[in-house]
Amino acid sequence: MSETSPAGTRTHCPYCALQCGTLLGRTDGPGSGGGSVSVSPDPDFPVNQGGLCQKGWTAPAVLDVPDRLTTPLVRGADGRLAPAGWDEALGLVARRLREIRDEHGPEALAVFGGGGLTNEKAYTLGKFARLALGTSQIDYNGRFCMSSAAAAQNAAFGVDRGLPFPVTDLGRADVVLLAGANPAETMPPLLRHLDRASLIVIDPRRTRTAARAALHLQPTPGTDLALALGLLHLAVTDGHLDKTYLDERTEGFDETWARAVTWWPERVEAVTGVAVSELRSAVRMLAEAERAYVLTGRGAEQHSKGSDTVAAFINLSLALGLPGREGSGFGTLTGQGNGQGGRELGQKADQLPGYRSLTDPAARAHLARVWGVDPERLPGPGRSAYELLDALGTDDGPRALLVLGSNPVVSAPDAGRIARRLGALDLLVVADFVPSETARMADVVLPVTQWAEEEGTLTNLEGRVLRRRRLLDPPPGVRGDLDVLHGIAVRLGEPASRYPRRPREVFEELRAATAGGPADYSGVSYERLDRDEELYWPCPEGSSGTPRLFLDGFAHPGGRARFQAVEHRDAAELPSPDFPLYATTGRVLAQYQSGAQTRRVAELTEAAPEPYVEVHPDTAARASLADGQLARVSSARGAVLAKVRYEPSLRTDTVFVPFHFPGEGRANLVTHAALDPRSRMPEFKVCAVRIEAAR
């Protein structure tokens, strides 16, 4: 099918990393979107196979929300945001950046990006930070999403791609283990590929996904690592080890087994609360399946030991001989729309385009040649996302921040603290299309285009590069993010040619910048994508791409996968007399991420209108709380106000709060910012709380 057809303009959903194929059409009527735009699933796109979730069906509604930003806003002396012209706004931003840099140095300037930005935007944002600003202080909200899985997969396999195989391969699976993933609510079209498989779901909650499972393991929050060690122990002691695979394709098993040998089933049951019989059943189901997959999600990854937890599930899959075997494998369900492309193209604190390391002299030299600068001009690695946000406004931290595609006031852990840090800045600039909670704090707000108003590419969870196609002209007064970065860079004295404003020009440079790297895009082009070629990275020049990684060997020297010896440790914060319950956070079907978009869609708001806290009825009774009553969920950091929702399937020691809501309903007011030492992932998924009636 061509890029346009009688059915409409072919593009992709603006939400999760499935990037479901959609067809957009126009109907008569005023406005740039809303009722004038129709959406239907693309029946030819294999990922969603003609399906969409609620969010995809209602995506056009965000295009014409009443509070759509269409003019720059500048905070005046009276403390209020007021409309301004583009020249005034960009001139003010550039002048203040120069002043702060002159007084405090380039490290006083920072950039915070997003996992929903197109590849072209992510690439340009990294270039802008390192050249136009001269700062190392750049990271993005994808650090809160996939970083633990990325660290573990790089260590085990030598490369990180969410799914190292097409998602359609899952449709032939006999058994799929989902560790901390709830696709029935987070990416419903994926379930079309899981209908055939028997599911093993590991989750403290009986989610919609767990309700479909053949086996649901319901561990104590924060004990997934112990559970994975116990599964590996049973794989060995129950005789399921694939010794031929280990000898031919892996290294490091002995050291890993030396750790796992101490996690006998009864010990695992005592720590996790999962019965030995269920542990044994899970291993047997995986081992006896002809085609089996192990997949992790945020529930396993968003911990201060998330990298080790994912590593432990990789160890289990290696012991069973799954990765790199056609029809079986290990993968991670990437969350954000361009979470994959966003981290491999340069907006992460320690990475250069092509998934190259910022500390690699050869990688620095290659990129410097593409950019036409001396390698010495490239800064070194900067702070990770939370560390960057937590340093804002401090004596040795950034004093100015530019935010594109993120809403950390709602999405960051210990959100109250981060809001205070944002408030301490000398300059906060936010580019967005709606007045998010973070935009409302800004000194300058820059209105930018939405998904249906722009061209570009994205990379979905399979590593498949996709074309975003424009249906609409943006409203008058709105500019693209590439225009915004160009305008600021030129006002800072950078050559105009260094910051192209056309996505296709940026992509041509991106191809050269990634050439030879682990995530090589040099063989991808707009022309090939518009011919409907299925292109997965790595795709060197002249290549047809790599839909399935590892079939002929892993990306380490010698081609072997590496076991990682890991050990369970407690969460950073455990229940205490003052805070006797575990709290865990997550997403719900009708909302997405910080909710800045979906909370503006009437149909989605009707389905999930307000914050709530799931509580077992017995736990609620002990706190004298009735179903529907307003409760206060408190931790050592803050408190959330949310209505009680009885959930008999929940563990009695655990409460669940979705994180999409603003104000006093922000779940991240209570979450802990303890960081994984490898990935720098915060511990979103477990903290200690108490629950009581709100006064």
Q: What is the pLDDT of residues 515-561, one digit of tens each?
A: 999 999 999 999 999 999 999 999 999 999 999 999 999 999 999 99
Cα 269 from Cα 39, distance rounded (Å) = 48
Residue 32 in this model has a pLDDT that exceeds 80: no
631 with 625: CB under 8 angstroms?
Answer: yes
Q: What one-letter code names the amino acid at 56?
A: G
Would you say residue 165 has pLDDT above 60?
yes
Q: Could you tell me whether strands 73-75 and 444-447 are parallel, antiparallel, or unpaired per DSSP bridges? A: antiparallel
Count CB neighbours of 590 within 10 A: 23
Taking only the tens place, the pLDDT of each residue in 633-653 is: 999 999 999 999 999 999 999
What domains sit in the chain, N to C, each tagged with a CATH number? 4-64 (2.20.25.90), 73-144+338-503 (3.40.50.740), 147-333 (3.40.228.10), 581-693 (2.40.40.20)
Predicted local distance difference test score (pLDDT) of residue 4: 54
Half-sphere exposure of 586 (CA within 13 A, CB side): 29
pTM confidence score: 0.96
Q: Looking at residues 43-57, what average pLDDT do you find? A: 96
Chain segment 580-595, per-residue pLDDT in tens:
999 999 999 999 999 9
Q: What is the pairing mode between strands 654-658 and 356-357? A: unpaired
Of 447 and 30, more confident: 447
Residue 682 pLDDT level (bands cut at 50, 70, 90): very high
Residue type, 426: D
Hunting for tokens 């239907």 — which residue is that? 40
Sign of CA dihedral 647, 652, 654, 655: positive
CA dist 146 and 144 (Å) reads 7
CA 625 to CA 619: how far, in whole Å? 9
Helices marked H in 105-157:
119-127, 147-157
Task: Return d(Cα 427, Cα 443) in angstroms, integer.
Answer: 6
- Please write the tens of the pLDDT for every residue from 384-415: 999 999 999 999 999 999 999 999 999 999 99
* Per-residue burial over 97-108, b = 16 or more CB atoms within 10 Å of its CB, e = otherwise: beebbeebebbb
Amino acid at residue number 262: T
Q: Give mean pLDDT, residues 665-672.
A: 97
Provide the percentage of residues in the chain whose pLDDT is more than 70.
98
Residue 5 has a pLDDT of 56
Residue length of the chain? 695
pLDDT reading at 149 higher than 50: yes
How confident is the model over 452-479, as a mean pLDDT? 97
Furthest-apart CA atoms within the chain: distance in Å: 73
508 Rama sector, left if φ>0, alpha if ψ -120 to 50, beta otherwise: alpha
Q: In this structure, are residues 202 and 227 in contact, taking their beta carbons and an 8 Å threshold?
A: yes
Task: Give the model's confidence band at 30: pLDDT under 50 very low, under 70 low, under 90 confident, else very high.
Answer: very low
Closest CA to 100 of 108, 111, 92: 108
pLDDT band at 7 (very low <50, low <70, confident <90, very high): low
Which segments of 317-461 are extended strands (E)? Answer: 329-332, 351-352, 356-357, 400-404, 427-432, 444-447, 456-459
Mean of pLDDT values over 348-361 = 96
Q: How far apart are CA 520 and CA 533, in angstroms?
A: 16
CB neighbourhood size of 26 (10 A): 13
Residues of 328-346 as b/e, b for ≥16 C-beta within 10 angstroms?
bbbbbbbbbbbbbbbbbbb
The whole-number pLDDT of residue 31 equals 44
Q: 3-state DSSP call for residue 642?
A: strand
| Structure confidence at residue 36 as a pLDDT band (50, 70, 90) | confident
pLDDT for 695 equals 82
State which amino acid sits at residue 491: R
pLDDT digits (tens, 9 = 90+) for 192-243: 999 999 999 999 999 999 999 999 999 999 999 999 999 999 999 999 999 9
> In Å, what is the CA distance from 29 to each residue of 10, 32, 38, 440?
21, 9, 12, 31
pLDDT-derived band at 606 (thresholds 50, 70, 90) equals: very high
Q: What is the DSSP letter of 651?
A: -
Burial class of residue 212 in the structure, from the number of CB atoms within 10 Å of its CB (0-12 exposed, 13-18 middle, 19+ buried): middle
Return the C-alpha torsion angle 368, 459, 112, 489, nearest 10: 50
CB 442 within 8 A of CB 106: no
- Read out DSSP for 544-596? ---SS-SSS--SSTTS-EE---------S----SSS-EEEEEE--TT--TT-T
Residue 2 has pLDDT above 80, yes or no: no
Pairing of strands 329-332, 292-296: parallel
Beta bridge partners of 613: 644
Structure tokens belonging to residue 508:
């041509």
pLDDT value at 33 more than 50: no
Q: How far apart are CA 469 and CA 86, in angstroms?
A: 26
Give the residue from 455, 464, 563 showing the smallest Cα distance to 519.
464
What is the per-residue pLDDT for 6? 56
Mean pLDDT of the chain: 96
pLDDT at 335: 82
3-state DSSP helix/strand/coil % of the chain, to nearest 5: 35, 20, 45
| pLDDT tens digits for range 65-118 | 999 999 999 999 999 999 999 999 999 999 999 999 999 999 999 999 999 999
Closest CA to 101 of 495, 491, 588: 491
